[in-house]
A and B are shown apart, each in its own frame.
Chain A
Amino acid sequence: MKRRKGVGRAEARTAYGMITPAMLVIAGLGLLPVLAVIWLSFNQVNPGTLATEYVGLSNYTEVLSNGAFWNSLKITLYFSLVSVLIQIILGTLVSLLLNQDFKGRGFVRAIMLIPWAVPTIVNANLWKWIFNANYGILNKVLIHFNIIDENIVWLGDGKLAIHMIILSDTWKMLPLVALMLLAGLQTVSLEAKEAALIDGANAWQRFKAVYLPALKPMYTVVLVLRTIQTIRVFDIVYALTAGGPNDSTKVISFYAYREIFDYLNYGKGSAICIIIAVIILLLSLIYLRVGKAGD
């Protein structure tokens, strides 16, 4: 018994030794910047000398009492909610389609990834031209099919612009969502599918009874992942609208970006970043809880 314990301890020491370098890298690149930002959020920082002055919670009260912050948060949460909902619904449909057996399925599954592989900034500029009121293909196609009579300024209307950003983001991220859900569908056994067919279940019944249980764990993963990504969204907004028109697409990351990199308010900007992180953490915990409760 003593000899087995000794062997176990030795193995554990080796294991910890092997993961230590990775943990140090994670701590250095991940944990330390977070700790530094938390610390900065409680300070006023001189951008010239980087000298700090502890100010307690005043950066947080300044941010939370600023209407512009709540406006940006509202826009961000709307963007996140609508994007994630659309992508989960469409992703489910696409994954179910790709789960079918058809000729060229492998090829289709492969080329589906192309939008996701396009860098976000390239994607944004691509859609900027598609949405161009005078030269964009969207207006040309819609006018050609008599869906609209005259050009629509897609990115010039505050109510439309955010939805155009959602559309651009969905085009890029849908393949990722679909493939993740497709992975979940691979766990459905052939016997379960055949049993449902033999029992005479219709498509909706088969989806509910056979596919949905397999998709549920992946829904939790997709929800958490895409919520984090959509709340942090920045580059597509920067490239498409720069937060306009009239700040109607000024998401929270863009707001933080302006504070930190334009106005050099490091303390206030750090406070905004921490608030974003806390919101993401809370939402993730809620999703995980709900996902677990459903099991």
Chain B
Amino acid sequence: MKRLIVALVTVLSLLTVTACGNSNKEKEETASSDVPESITVICNSDEQELFEYIAEKYKEEYDVEVKIINQAYDSTHEKITTTWTGGGEGDVCYVDTPWAAEFGSLGITIGLNDYMSQEYQDGFVDSALDQMYYDEQVQAIPFANNGKWMFYNKAALAEAGYDAPPTTWDELKEMSETLIEKGICKYGIAWGASQAEGLMCDLTTMIYGFGGSWQNEDGTFAFNSQESAAALQFIYDSMQDGWADPASITYSDRDCVDPFLAGDTAFVMNWSYIYEYGNDPANSKVAGDVDICLMPGTGQAVSSSVTGGGGLGVMSTSKYPEYAFEFIEMVTSSEIQQYALETYSSLPTIKSLYEDEELLAANEALGKFYPQYETAHYRPLLVKYSEWSNTVQPLFSGALAGDMTVTEALEQAESASAPFVE
């Protein structure tokens, strides 16, 4: 009996291991003519409310439920890849701007060129759609145009005697020192300097703002430069000199908002949602005083920011790609884009809304946000962006924490980046 059990267990083990060896992910035949009971959308928690609103409209129109799986941004990439690899439920997925090449090369998302009419395609802001290509196929449709802006507490600045926000980083430094001296704020700014993707976004802003760049035109890396060193040194010195929050090294680009909303800092670099969120008394002690300005510049660049936002792609494991694309079309419709703008400060990705004079007049913020796009830069467009970013993040974060010099960090990062050149 004992031998029988041992034999049974061994056979089961061998069968399973053999099955693993021979397993290939076979695409199931999609029953595209069938109507699904539901589709699944994987997105960030930032989009949850908006997508729940859209899900109701989708249900009304197509009689199909929309299941929304959301998590914090920093967990979304793994959620998508594990769902896809494991064959889990996923029809539509969030695609951050640097992920399009990765998802396209792995086959996580399908090319959408055949799903889009030329008119639909031409309706998007060029810079928004351009980031979503891989191998000449659109991998995701941009649904939220975004970037980083400088938000500031206009009441605090006024109290310190300033009637306009800073236009250069040196001015921001000077204003911060004055605000601290007068006891108006604890610090001028808190950075999102911890080892996370948010740091790469902020470094994009700073490196380009100081006249540097991530890549040359041929795709080789160009960030090991005096300009980039000046940018990193500026951030490091700000914490050492005490006019920026020294705890910034532990903040993600979401955490650094907390001191701003508490009134402890007067400036914060962040995504567009801060405008509505920061002016809502339910979230903020400085509600009513939050305003936007262009990112400060230097003698090298008038201003600089990073592109963001993201798109929605159709997962290759979706059994109902047409229905998945219908959801994306709904998200990117003029009506929903306008709703998202008015409710969540989510900036539209379709040109027509930026040309709508009535909308511009009714949404003062839209006019304030738009100019920054002219100086917004991409993070490196790499197939293995995620791996590259996680490789260099500790080095840059380490330099800002003082574990190594800025020069050492840039040199090590350049060396570590060599295998990722495409």
* Interchain CB contact under 8 A, A16 and B1: yes
By DSSP majority rule, is chain A's interface helix, strand, loop, or mixed?
loop
- Binary contact track A1-45/B, C-beta < 8 Å → 1, others 0: 000000000001100110010011001100110011001100100
* Interchain CB contact under 8 A, B250 and A133: yes
**In the complex, A39 Cα to B107 Cα: how many Å?**
25
Q: Within the complex, what minimum Cβ distance (angstroms) separates B11 from chain A?
A: 10
Binds B, one of A48-56, A98-106, A208-216, A220-228: A48-56
Within 8 A of B (CB), among A249-283: 250, 258, 261-264
Q: Is A153 an interface residue (CB 8 A)?
A: yes
* Interchain CB contact under 8 A, B401 and A242: no
* Interchain CB contact under 8 A, A52 and B395: no
- Binary contact track A151-169/B, C-beta < 8 Å → 1, others 0: 1011111100000000000
Q: Is A246 an interface residue (CB 8 A)?
A: yes
Query: A47: which of B106, B390, B395 is its contact (CB, 8 Å)?
Result: B106
Across the interface, name the chain A residue whose C-beta is closest to B247.
A133
**Number of B residues contacting the other chain (C-beta, 8 Å)?**
47
Contact A246:B386 (CB < 8 A) given known A27-B9, A36-B20: no
**In the complex, A15 Cα to B361 Cα: how many Å?**
81
Query: B16: which of A36, A52, A155, A247 is its contact (CB, 8 Å)?
Result: A36
Residues of B within 8 A of A243 (CB): 195, 394
* Interchain CB contact under 8 A, A47 and B85: yes
Q: Within the complex, what minimum Cβ distance (angstroms) separates A230 from chain B?
A: 22
Q: Is A291 an interface residue (CB 8 A)?
A: no
Residues of B within 8 A of A217 (CB): none
**In the complex, A13 Cα to B5 Cα: how many Å?**
11
* Interchain CB contact under 8 A, B195 and A27: no
* Interchain CB contact under 8 A, B394 and A242: no
* Interchain CB contact under 8 A, B386 and A245: no
Q: Is A115 an interface residue (CB 8 A)?
A: no
- Binary contact track B402-422/A, C-beta < 8 Å → 1, others 0: 011000000000000000000
Residues of A within 8 A of B12 (CB): 24, 27-28, 32
Across the interface, name the chain B residue whose C-beta is closest to A132.
B247
**In the complex, A49 Cα to B2 Cα: how many Å?**
39
Query: A262: which of B1, B77, B196, B250 is its contact (CB, 8 Å)?
Result: B77
Q: Is B130 an interface residue (CB 8 A)?
A: no
Q: Within the complex, what minimum Cβ distance (angstroms) separates B352 from chain A?
A: 37
* Interchain CB contact under 8 A, A134 and B195: no
**In the complex, A132 Cα to B258 Cα: how many Å?**
11
Residues of B within 8 A of A28 (CB): 12
* Interchain CB contact under 8 A, B24 and A244: no
Binding site for A on B (CB under 8 A): 1-2, 5, 8-9, 12-13, 16-17, 20-21, 23-25, 74, 77-78, 81-82, 85, 106-108, 186, 194-196, 245-247, 249-250, 258-259, 264, 384, 386-387, 390, 393-395, 397-398, 401, 403-404
**Other CB < 8 Å A-B pairs besides A246-B397, A262-B387, 9 of them?**
A27-B13, A32-B12, A36-B17, A134-B259, A153-B247, A158-B403, A242-B194, A245-B195, A248-B403
23 residue pairs from A and B, CB less than 8 Å apart: A20-B5, A20-B8, A27-B13, A36-B17, A39-B20, A47-B81, A50-B24, A52-B21, A153-B250, A155-B250, A156-B247, A156-B250, A242-B196, A244-B195, A245-B195, A245-B397, A247-B195, A261-B82, A262-B390, A263-B386, A263-B387, A264-B85, A264-B106
The 7 closest A-B pairs by CB, nearest first: A246-B398, A244-B195, A133-B247, A156-B249, A247-B394, A261-B78, A48-B107
